[in-house]
A and B are shown apart, each in its own frame.
Chain A
C-alpha cells in the first residue's frame, strides 16, 4: 500500500513539472505555430540562473521565480515580435512558416546552449532548499518537491482560468483556431501570438526553476525536456491547454511506475506511449 502511494505521489510530483513544460510548448506550438525546439533551453537557462542566484548571491529560489518568469516572458515576447513575426510575414504559406520557424528554433538552441556553456561549463549543479522530509501516510517526500507540485497546480489553474474566462484568453483561443479570421474579427493578432510565445517561455522559466529545486541541473539538460514536452503536447492534443495539463500528469505517473522497475528506461517508456498514441488516437486525449 505504501509503495502504491509512493508511486502515485512521485508520479504527481513529476507530472506537475511535465504539465507546466507542456503547457508552455502547447501555447507556442498550438497557438503561435512555432515548433520550438529550443523550449528545453529556456528551462535550462532558468534552472541555471536559479542555481547561480541561490549559491552565489544567496537568494531564495522562490524569489527567483519573480526573476525567471518575467524575464523569460519578455525574452519570448521580443523573440516573437522580432524574429518569428518577420518570418511569418515573409512566408508564403502556414506550412512554410512552420518549417522555417522550426529551423530558426534550432538556431536559437545553438546560440543559447553555447552562451550557457561558456557561462556555466559542463558540470552538474545542485543546491539544497527545503530539504525536509514530509510523511504522507507512510510515503516520505521532500518538502521542496511537494511545494513545486502545489505551485505547479496553482499556476496551471490560474493559467487555465486566464485562457477560459478572460477577454484576452478568448482572443488566444480564437487565434489558436484560425489566426487569419481572428485578425479580421478585430483581434490584435500580432500581440496575441507574441504574448502566447512569451507565456510559453515564462512557463518554461518557471518549470526550470522548479526543476532546479528538485534535481541537479546542467547545461545539456534541455533536450530531454524538449522531447518530453513534445510527447505531452501530442498526448494531450495539440492546442488544448487542459489536455497538456492532464497529459503531463499522465506521463508523470507512467514515469513513476517505470522508475520503480528501472529509472533509465523512463524516456523509452514515454516514447512507446507516444508511438501507441499516434497509432490509436493521433489527435490526443483532448483533441478534436
Chain B
C-alpha cells in the first residue's frame, strides 16, 4: 500500500534547517559577546567557501580570486561607507565585485586548468599593488577608517547573506543550469556540442559567486574598522576557501558548509591558543587531510554511512 506521507527526507531536512537558522537568529539574545563574534567569523568563511564552490565545484576550474572579490567589496564599502546606508553598501559591494568578475571572467575563462589558477592568483597581487599605488599617490595615506557598527548588526547581515547564498546555491544546483555546469566540469567540449552556451554560463556563474563574496567583504570592512591594501587583499582569503571546500568535500552541497564550519572553528581555536604557531599547525592538518581524506569530510561521512548500511544488511 502506498503511504500518504511524502518522502520523510523532504520534510525533515528543511524542518531541521529552519530550526537551525531560527536558533542562529536568536543566538545574540541567548549568548551575547564572544560567541556572536565566533559564529559570525565562521559564517563569513562559510559564505566565502560556498560561493567558491558554487563556481569551482561543478566546473572544476580552480579559482584563486576570492581574495580579489573580497577586497573589492572591502574597498567599495570603505569608499562609499559615509554616503550609503549599510544594506545598500552591502548590495553595492556585491554588485561591484560581480562587475569585476564579469570582466575577469570574460577575459580568462577560456583558459583551462592551471592557467586559470595562476591568473586568478595574480589578480589578487595586481589589485593589491594597483590600489596601494593609487592610495599612496592620490590620497597620500595607505589605509582608511570606517565607522564601526555593533557586533549584532554584522552578525545579522552576514546571516542574511548566508541564507540568500544557500538558497541560490540550492536553486542553481537543482536547475538545468546546475546540470549544464556539471557537464562543463565533466567535458567542456561535449557540453558545448550539446548546446550549452559554455562561455556565458561560466562567466555568469563566476559573477554570481563574486556577488556574495563582495557583499561579505563590504560588511567585513565595517567590522575591521581599519583597512589597507594588505589587509583587504590578503591572499589567505583565496587559499582558505579552496582548502575549506576541499576539506569538506566537493561532491555534495553540504560538503563546503561542513568543511568551512569545521575548519574555521578549528582555526579560531588555534589562533587563540597558539597565536605564533597556528599557520604551522594548520599546514600540518591540511597535509594530513589531503593525504588521508581525499574526498574530504563528505567522503568520511559516506564511508561511515556505507559501513552502517552494510552492517544492517549483515544482521538481517
Report Cα–Cα, A108/B284, bound state, in Å. 8
A182-205 contacts to B (CB < 8 Å): none
B83-125 contacts to A (CB < 8 Å): 107-108, 111, 113-115, 117-119, 121-123, 125
State whether the Cβ of B235 lies closer than 8 Å to any Cβ in chain A: yes
State which of B34-42, B129-137, B301-309 sits at the interface with chain A: B129-137
State whether the Cβ of B283 lies closer than 8 Å to any Cβ in chain A: yes
Give the residues in chain A near B113, CB-CB below 8 Å. Answer: 95, 98
State whether the Cβ of A212 lies closer than 8 Å to any Cβ in chain B: no
* Contact A282–B107 (Cβ < 8 Å): no
B62: nearest chain-A partner, CB-CB: A99
State whether the Cβ of A111 lies closer than 8 Å to any Cβ in chain B: yes
State whether the Cβ of B294 lies closer than 8 Å to any Cβ in chain A: yes
State whether the Cβ of B16 lies closer than 8 Å to any Cβ in chain A: no
Chain B 277-293 interface mask (CB, 8 Å, partner A; 1/0): 11110111011001100
Given contacts A107-B283, A111-B284, contact A231 B108 (CB under 8 A): no
* Contact A110–B283 (Cβ < 8 Å): yes
Chain A 148-182 interface mask (CB, 8 Å, partner B; 1/0): 00000000000000000000000000000000000
B113: nearest chain-A partner, CB-CB: A98
Q: How far is the CB of A107 from chain B (nearest CB, A)?
A: 4
State whether the Cβ of A274 lies closer than 8 Å to any Cβ in chain B: yes
Q: How far is the CB of A226 from chain B (nearest CB, A)?
A: 8
Give the residues in chain B near A103, CB-CB below 8 Å. Answer: 242-243, 246, 286, 290
Given contacts A268-B130, A271-B122, A271-B126, contact A110 B294 (CB under 8 A): no
* Contact A106–B242 (Cβ < 8 Å): yes
A23-60 contacts to B (CB < 8 Å): 29, 35, 37
Give the residues in chain B near A114, CB-CB below 8 Å. Answer: 277-280, 283
Report Cα–Cα, A265/B125, bound state, in Å. 11
Report Cα–Cα, A264/B114, bound state, in Å. 27
Number of chain A residues close to chain B: CB under 8 A = 43
Give the residues in chain B near A268, CB-CB below 8 Å. Answer: 126, 129-130, 133
Given contacts A275-B107, A282-B111, contact A262 B62 (CB under 8 A): no
Give the residues in chain B near A265, CB-CB below 8 Å. Answer: 129, 133
State whether the Cβ of B143 lies closer than 8 Å to any Cβ in chain A: no
State whether the Cβ of A118 lies closer than 8 Å to any Cβ in chain B: yes
State whether the Cβ of A113 lies closer than 8 Å to any Cβ in chain B: yes
- Give the residue of B108, B118, B239, B294 whose beta carbon is less than 8 angstroms from that of A230: B118
B114-172 contacts to A (CB < 8 Å): 114-115, 117-119, 121-123, 125-126, 129-130, 132-133, 136
Given contacts A102-B62, A110-B280, A268-B129, contact A35 B115 (CB under 8 A): no
State whether the Cβ of B5 lies closer than 8 Å to any Cβ in chain A: no
State whether the Cβ of A224 lies closer than 8 Å to any Cβ in chain B: yes
Report Cα–Cα, A86/B283, bound state, in Å. 17
The binding surface of chain A is classed by DSSP as: helix
A264: nearest chain-B partner, CB-CB: B133
Report Cα–Cα, A118/B281, bound state, in Å. 13
B162-206 contacts to A (CB < 8 Å): none
State whether the Cβ of A130 lies closer than 8 Å to any Cβ in chain B: no
- Give the residue of B123, B136, B243, B287 whose beta carbon is less than 8 angstroms from that of A264: B136
> What interface size band does chain B fall in?
35 or more
Given contacts A114-B280, A227-B121, contact A86 B291 (CB under 8 A): yes
A106: nearest chain-B partner, CB-CB: B239
Report Cα–Cα, A92/B182, bound state, in Å. 19
* Contact B287–A107 (Cβ < 8 Å): yes
Given contacts A99-B62, A110-B282, A111-B279, contact A230 B243 (CB under 8 A): no
Chain A 265-288 interface mask (CB, 8 Å, partner B; 1/0): 101100100110011001000000
Report Cα–Cα, A102/B118, bound state, in Å. 11
Report Cα–Cα, A113/B283, bound state, in Å. 10
State whether the Cβ of B60 lies closer than 8 Å to any Cβ in chain A: yes
Give the residues in chain B near A118, CB-CB below 8 Å. Answer: 276-277
State whether the Cβ of A64 lies closer than 8 Å to any Cβ in chain B: no
A107: nearest chain-B partner, CB-CB: B286
* Contact B115–A278 (Cβ < 8 Å): yes
A98-151 contacts to B (CB < 8 Å): 98-100, 102-104, 106-111, 113-115, 118
A94: nearest chain-B partner, CB-CB: B113
Q: How far is the CB of A30 from chain B (nearest CB, A)?
A: 11
State whether the Cβ of A5 lies closer than 8 Å to any Cβ in chain B: no
Give the residues in chain B near A6, CB-CB below 8 Å. Answer: none
B294: nearest chain-A partner, CB-CB: A90
* Contact A107–B125 (Cβ < 8 Å): no
Chain B 31-62 interface mask (CB, 8 Å, partner A; 1/0): 00000000000000000000000000000101
Q: How far is the CB of A227 from chain B (nearest CB, A)?
A: 5
State whether the Cβ of A87 lies closer than 8 Å to any Cβ in chain B: yes
Report Cα–Cα, A275/B294, bound state, in Å. 33
* Contact A223–B125 (Cβ < 8 Å): yes
Report Cα–Cα, A37/B284, bound state, in Å. 16
* Contact A271–B125 (Cβ < 8 Å): yes
Q: What are 19 A-B interface contacts by the 8 Å CB criterion?
A: A29-B114, A35-B114, A86-B291, A87-B291, A90-B294, A102-B62, A106-B286, A107-B284, A111-B287, A114-B277, A114-B278, A114-B279, A118-B276, A224-B125, A234-B118, A267-B126, A268-B126, A278-B107, A282-B115
Other than the given A91-B294, A103-B286, A111-B279, 11 more pairs (CB < 8 A) read A95-B60, A98-B114, A104-B286, A106-B239, A107-B283, A108-B287, A109-B239, A265-B133, A267-B126, A268-B126, A282-B115
